[in-house]
Structure 1
């Protein structure tokens, strides 16, 4: 006898992509990234460079206006929409938001973005103060979504079955190590590894958020009885 599959368990590939109602955080964030990517592609190169430099999370900007620059730097995609991190943003954040909600997904993303940025820029500032690096290092160009995406990959792994969790972590971790060994941008490469570790460190709380989301979705909505249907003798 051939087994039948329940309709609700059929593959739904469209759920891999964000929607304004199902995954509003990822959807509207992606809309902003597409807009800034269009600016990067078609605006005057001098203007684009000035924008990237102005929104860079380098030491000089972090000292002067840390909160605005940390937010603004995450509104641009380094490498444009063709970047692997742009695709990772769509797939990983959509999957994470469908499991733990938009607010918690934003928390994970920002943790990775903010903490990994500080972990890479503070040593730069310390090295400049001690004479290990020139003063120009205080204005190192640094922007993009990659730290937040790396943290989201680490967090999402906690919610996957073991047969997909470990291949994902091994493949992504190896890609980050390979980038680090290439030594083209070691500070950013270290930041990616730190962000991945931050995402993995959120496993206990991410799993708790997932259980709360499942429990909330399992509760049926209250049934309202119309007043006209109640009859008294």
Structure 2
């Protein structure tokens, strides 16, 4: 590393902030939508209506059976956390999901893949992990590993999509940092002290691990495709040289 690199770090961060709207407009718009939705639900709606809305968009088994599209899409428009209670565990989760996952990693994915493909990665993780988790819940209920109350448990927010973006962003790191980052992505959902109701962890932990696996899989596919393109371009470059 260049000895002057630490001195240039503030300038690089300032440049990243200044160019953020131009390089990651989809992510910026999504973050704005999430913040507006959070203010609307937490500050403008009455507590009863806010609770009813959260219950309606929760991606539990009952809602996925009754109104799956509304639940899946509506759940991705609110984040389950806080930006003001900095002493709570919810604030740490918000920093990881909204801060790192969306503001940083999804923005990087947009710069790497383009807005539509980055959104597809995020929504693919959000929807894919939710549906596979629902199948796991059904299996667990059949074997008595989860209580019946899990059918209508509250489960909404951006964390599955953010977890997918966190895993996908492994590609943005140097090789020496990828394994520690992957360990962090897999470990933080297990760090909340959740009880295991049976041989499986609670369903939200299952969902976070599944969404991480989806993100790692997409990152691997993109890395393989990029490597093939470089190998295909190498002979053409060599032939073009005199």
TM-score range, shorter chain: 0.7 to 0.9
Which residue of the partner structure matches residue 199 of structure 1?
A: 215
- Supply the distance in 2 between the matched residues of 1:148 and 1:16 (Cα, whole angstroms): 23
Q: Is the 8 A contact 1:16 1:95 kept in 2?
A: no
Which residue of the partner structure matches residue 190 of structure 1?
A: 206
- Supply the distance in 2 between the matched residues of 1:92 and 1:135 (Cα, whole angstroms): 36
- Supply the distance in 2 between the matched residues of 1:116 and 1:44 (Cα, whole angstroms): 31
Which residue of the partner structure matches residue 98 of structure 2?
A: 86
- Supply the distance in 2 between the matched residues of 1:16 and 1:210 (Cα, whole angstroms): 27
Deviations along 1:175-194, one digit per CA (max 9) or x if unpaired, are 22323x53288211121111
The CA RMSD over aligned residues, in Å, is 3.3
For these two proteins, the number of residue pairs brought into alignment is 210
Q: Which runs of 5+ in 2 are unaligned?
A: 84-90, 231-242
1:60-139 correspondence runs (5 A):
60-81=62-83, 82=91, 83-84=94-95, 85-88=97-100, 89-128=102-141, 135-139=148-152
Which residue of the partner structure matches residue 163 of structure 2?
A: 150
Deviations along 1:148-207, one digit per CA (max 9) or x if unpaired, are 11111111102321123222112222222323x532882111211111111001124333
Q: Is the 8 A contact 1:23 1:102 kept in 2?
A: yes
Structure 1 177/130 Cα, relative in aligned 2: closer, same or farther at 3 Å?
closer
- Supply the distance in 2 between the matched residues of 1:39 and 1:13 (Cα, whole angstroms): 31
Query: How far off is 1:65 after superposition?
Result: 2.3
